[in-house]
Amino acid sequence: MLKQFNDYMSVKDMLDLSGIPPTRLLYYEDAYVKEFEAKVIKVLKTENRETGVILDETAFYPGGGGQPSDIGLMEGNTMQAKVVRLRRKGEIVIHYVDEVFGEINEGNHVRGVVNWERRYKLMRIHTSAHLMSQAIRQALSKPVEIVGSGMDLEKARLDFTHAGSTRELFPQIEAVANNVVKENRTVKIRLMPRNEAEEYVKKFHESLKTLPPQVSEVRIVEIEGWHACACGGTHVKSTGEIDEIRLLSRSSKGKGIERIEFTVQKP
């Protein structure tokens, strides 16, 4: 029984985080915070000799919703370290650091510096993925269901229900998408009670079915009048910041699922 239990729990999951207050998530309040000051709440030494730092607040995005986590720097009066990855466990964000010069001590104040070039590209790609969900529906003239998505620094992908190739429709999909980019629509983010959110996203052919049942308040990201869905990621303020969307490739994932890949670029 115990062995079976351990099989399902990684070492990291056994970190004792009891008594640690929730991390204030600055990236939710303002996705454009690039640098911030924070207090070191806890320094964790993991079994594989990594150092994890918990701060009272953070602008580092810990990953989720298909968007990779940030990287960057952590600096104090007598220390400097690279933030190489992050992890969110419940309401607490753990910053894993490497190449630590000096010492990180609980109670110290540090400055966090997000690798902004990387993060801003991911914000543009993430917002473009939302925009594309509706562009595909409009170009195909049917409310396809998006069944998967993901992104990295180079590109985003969307998997959706569609039998046959979309190759011939690429010019139309791109035209619809880039028209919305040019319209420079505002990206609005707000919290909504779950039942209200459920009704709201329906208008945009989206649902909350992948959201855990215990979530009662939902963060809705809306490209004004174009598309809205539940999302915990970081986004640009308006679609004009995307610059231009370019389709890269398509493939069939089988069982009537089509995948397209696309990227953002300067026109």
Binding site for Zn ion (CB under 5 A): 65, 231, 233
Please state, in angstroms and rounded to a whole number, the distance separating the CA atoms of residues 173 and 106: 52
Q: With respect to Zn ion, which residue has the nearer C-beta, 187 or 231?
A: 231
Q: Residue 65 Cβ, how far from Zn ion at the closest point, in Å?
A: 5
Complex with Zn ion: residue 112 or 233, whichever CB lies closer = 233
Q: Which residue's beta carbon is nearest to the bound Zn ion?
A: 231
Nearer to Zn ion, 50 or 261 (CB): 261
d(CA 235, CA 188): 9
Three-state SS for 74-135 is EECCCCEEEEEEEEEECCEEEEEEEEEECCCCCCCEEEEEECHHHHHHHHHHHHHHHHHHHH
Q: How many CA atoms lie within 13 A of 234 on its CB side?
A: 27
Q: CA 177 to CA 125: how far, in whole Å?
A: 13
Q: How far is the CB of 130 from Zn ion (least distance, A)?
A: 6
Smaller CB distance to Zn ion: residue 92 or 231?
231
Least distance in angstroms from the C-beta of 126 to Zn ion: 6
- Tell me how far, at minimum, the Cβ of 235 lies from Zn ion, in Å: 7
CB of 227 to Zn ion, least distance (A): 10
Supply the DSSP string of 217-254, one letter for each residue: EEEEEEETTTEEEE--S---SBGGGG-EEEEEEEEEEE
Closer Cβ to Zn ion, 62 or 65, answer by number? 65
